[in-house]
Amino acid sequence: MSTPAGRTTAMAATTGPTVHAPASDLDRPHRGIHHLLHPQVLGVIIGASGASAFVHVNRVLLPDPWPALAVAAWALALALCAWAVLLRRRRLRDLEPPGRFAGLVYTGSVLGMLAAFAVGRVALDAAGRPELMPGVVVLAVGLHFVPFASAFDAPVFGVLGWTLAGLGVLGLALGWVVGAEAVAAAAVLTGVAMLALMAVDALRPAPAPR
């Protein structure tokens, strides 16, 4: 009579080598909605909230019919972002722990952004142009993203940061010449651009597992 151990050995010999599960479950494609706390998903949710605020806070400063068009553009960009990040199957990166200085970079960037808000407010009030504050906000938010690219090994932060900084400078320049509506339009465009850039980043092919 064969023993259980003997039957197991015979089965292994006839079926070939055992196939082991991948080292990380994230090596398989997943929907982001099932991994809401993964940095690539949670970061976009937070970013989408900020992008939506840019659109809805500033669209009311635009003349008709631009507020309605801003909502339509926002809804389209948000839908694309939600599909790319939450619903489309993709392989989420098995991220390495951030470097030992990442926390300091994050804290310094946030504090620098808040300081830029305060300095910008004082400067615009002194110049008699407080209505241009949305441009300062866009510029400061963009620049605070830039150091995250290297600190967290996430190049998308560099793309987001420099894009927002450019839109902030453009909004301030146009707003200074044209008026508050121009800087409000730049802020609305910033929100839509953020959603689009995050969607494009989620659609990029994931790097091969290490």
Q: What string of DSSP letters covers 110-157?
A: HHHHHHHHHHHHHHHHHHT-GGGHHHHHHHHHHHHHTTHHHHTT-THH
Mean per-residue pLDDT for 77-96? Answer: 90
The per-residue pLDDT for 76 is 98
Residue 21 tokens, joined? 């599960």
Render pLDDT for 127-136 as a digit per residue (tens, 0 to 9): 999 999 999 9
Render pLDDT for 131-182 as a digit per residue (tens, 0 to 9): 999 999 999 999 999 999 988 888 999 999 999 999 999 999 999 999 999 9
Mean per-residue pLDDT for 99-127? Answer: 94
Q: What whole-number distance in Å separates Cα of residue 153 and Cα of residue 105? A: 12
> Which letter, b or e, does each residue of 106-118 get, where b requires 16 or more Cβ atoms within 10 Å of its Cβ?
beebeeebeebee
The per-residue pLDDT for 100 is 80
- 147 CB-near residues (< 8 Å, 6+ apart): 105, 108, 109
Work out the mean pLDDT of the chain and round it to a whole number: 87
Render pLDDT for 63-83 as a digit per residue (tens, 0 to 9): 999 999 999 999 999 999 999
pTM recorded for the entire structure? 0.82
Render pLDDT for 10-22 as a digit per residue (tens, 0 to 9): 434 433 443 333 4
Neighbours of 190 (CB within 10 A): 29
Query: Which residue, among 42, 14, 26, 54, has the nearest Cα to 163 in the 3D structure?
Result: 54
The per-residue pLDDT for 39 is 86
Q: What whole-number distance in Å separates Cα of residue 64 and Cα of residue 82? A: 28
Phi, psi of 90 (to 5 degrees): -155, 165
The per-residue pLDDT for 142 is 97
Is residue 208 very low, low, confident or very high in pLDDT (cuts 50, 70, 90)? low
Query: Which residue, among 43, 45, 77, has the nearest Cα to 188 in the 3D structure?
Result: 77
Crossing angle, helix 180-203 and helix 133-145, to 10 degrees? 20
Phi, psi of 75 (to 5 degrees): -60, -40
Neighbours of 35 (CB within 10 A): 16
Q: What whole-number distance in Å separates Cα of residue 31 and Cα of residue 74? A: 23
